[in-house]
Chain A
Amino acid sequence: MGRGEESVESILRPARAAPTCLVVPMRTKRRFSVPNWNAEESIKGREKRLRASMMVSPEEHMERTFYLACTADIFDPYVPPEGDARLTSLSKDGLKQKMEKLRQTAASRLALRKVKNHDPNFSTKTFPEKAQEIFTEAHNSLANFNKQKLHSLVTERCYSEMVRGNRYKTIRWSFIESLEPPRVVHVRCHSMVNEDNLYGQVTVRMHTRQTLAIYDRFGRLMYGGEQVPKDVLEYVVFERHLVNVYGTWRMHGKIVPAWAPPKDPIIKTVMIPGPVLKPSQEYEEIKRETPEPVQMQ
C-alpha cells in the first residue's frame, strides 16, 4: 500500500548525492462511483452542459448552391385527342379537339422558334428518331441498372419515377419494333426562377411494340411476360435546359391520356382491409365502401 516514504539516510543512498523525494500516495484501484441517473436532465440543462464543453468557433455560413437541371413538372401538358388511333374528325368531339389542336399548334410554333434560337440544330423532322433512340437506351439502362448512363439520358424527375421501388427487382424490357414513325406533337418553353432561365419541353408521340417482365426479389414473375408483346401508344416528353450550352435532350416524363385502356392487373391477390368494427357492431350494418387502392412502397 502506498505509504509516505521519507528519505532515509543510508550508505547506499546518501542524501547529498540524490535529492529528497517524497512519494505521494496515489489510489490506483478504480472504485465504482455512484452515478446519478435519477436526475432528469431537461433539454435546457443538457444544452447548457454541452455548450459549456463545446469549443466556440465563429459561425460559418453554410451556403450550398444548388443547380436546377430540370423542371419539376410538365408545363401545359399536351391533351392527346381521343381515339388517336382512329379518326373521328366528323364528330362533335373531334371538332372540339381540332380547335384545341389549332390553338396548341400556335403556341407550339412560338416555342419552337425560341428553341431554335438557342439550339440551331433542332428540327422537328430529325428529332423524333433521336428521341426514340434516347427512349430505347434509357429503358435498356434501366433494365441493366446502369445508373450513370440513365442519369445522362433521363432528367432527375423522371429518374425518381422510373427507379422507385425497383431496387430489389429484376426488370426485363425489350423494344420489338415501332408501328408508326414517331412525330413531334407539342413544343413548349418555360422559365424557372428567372425569366432567362429557359427549359424547352417537346412531346413526341410514339406507337411501338414492347415486352416487359418484372421479377421480384426471388425471381418470380410479378408483372407482364417476356414473350408477350404489347402495342403501346405513348406521349413522351423530352426536356432540355436551353440556356445551358452543354445541355442535352433528356426524357422528362410521359403523358397518360384519360382515355387510355387500363393496364393489366398484377399476378397477385391484394387484400383491401375492411372497416374497423366496434365489438357491438356487425359487418353488414356498416355501409360498405371499398377504399381506393393506394400505391404501396
Chain B
Amino acid sequence: LTSGRVFPLSCIHTSASLEKFGKWEKKNRIVYPPQLPGEPRRPAEIYHCRREIKYSKDKMWYLAKLIKGMSIDQALAQLEFSDKKGAKVIKEVLLEAQEMAVRKHNVEFKSNLHIAESLTGRGHYTKQIRYHGKGMFGIMKLSRCHYFVKLVEGPPPPPEPPKTGFDQAKEYVQQLRNRTITHSL
C-alpha cells in the first residue's frame, strides 16, 4: 500500500514506500578511489536485501546458511529445488542482485559471482487473533524477516580443510612454548 497525497494540480506526489534506507542499502554507495596500474584488481561487491518477508527468521536462517559460500549458479540451483517457502524469495533476491551487478556495478560476467555473506534479520512482528473452538482464542504472532546478501565478484573461495589432530597438537605445543617466566634472569 503506497499512500499518495493528490494535490489539485497533482504536480507534487509524495509516497512513503522507499524513504527509509537501512545501512545495508547504503553500502552500495561507497566509491573507492581509482586503482594504480600495479595493484591487483579489486573485486566488485554488491549488497542487496529484501525487507519484511512474511517468513520466520529462524526458518530463513537455514536457507541462508545453505547458500553461504557457494557460487551464484550453484545457489540458484539449490534454491530452485528446495521445498521451503523462503527459497523462492531468496531466489528472486539473488536474481535481482545479479541484474543489478551487471547493469550498474560494472560486473563483467554474471556467473563470476559468489555469495560472501547471507544473513537474516528480524522484521516487524504483528499480533492477530487465532480463533479456537468453544469461544477460546489465542494471540497469533505474525513474524516477518529481512534477508541480506552480499555478492562478490570472482570464484568462490575454497573450503577450509578440517582441523587435524596433528594441527591441534602443534598449536598446543606452541602455546606451551609461548609462556614466559616472569622475574627470571
Contact = CB atoms under 8 A, between A and B. Distances in A.
Given A170-B34, A172-B34, A268 B108 contact: yes
B103 A220 contact: no
Nearest to B127: A32
Interface string A40-68: 00000000000000000001011110000
A170 B128 CA distance: 51
Contacts of A219: 32-35, 42
A61 B34 contact: no
A217 interface: yes
Interface residues of B, number: 29
A92 B12 CA distance: 57
Which of A170, A220, A222, A271 has the most chain B CB atoms closer than 10 A to its own CB?
A: A220
A222 B106 contact: yes
Contacts of A220: 35, 41-42, 44, 106
B73 to A, nearest CB: 15
A218 B42 contact: yes
A159 interface: no
The prevalent SS among residues of B at the interface is loop
B23 to A, nearest CB: 17
B112 to A, nearest CB: 11
A170 B35 contact: no
Nearest to B32: A219
B42 A297 contact: no
Tier of interface size on chain A? 20 to 34
A260 interface: no
Contacts of A231: none
Contacts of B42: 218-220
B8 interface: yes
A112 B41 CA distance: 53
Contact of A217 (B41, B44, B108, B139): B44
A217 B43 CA distance: 11
Given A216-B106, A219-B35, A32 B11 contact: no
Contacts of A32: 127, 129, 139
A218 B44 contact: yes
A236 B1 CA distance: 48
A59 B104 CA distance: 44
A23 to B, nearest CB: 32
Contacts of B35: 215, 218-221
Interface of A: 32, 34, 37, 59, 61-64, 168-170, 172, 213, 215-222, 268-269, 271, 296-297
30 contacts: A32-B127, A32-B129, A34-B129, A37-B128, A62-B7, A62-B8, A62-B12, A64-B9, A168-B31, A170-B31, A216-B44, A218-B32, A218-B43, A218-B44, A218-B45, A218-B106, A219-B34, A219-B35, A219-B42, A220-B35, A220-B42, A220-B44, A220-B106, A221-B34, A222-B106, A269-B108, A269-B109, A271-B102, A296-B103, A297-B103
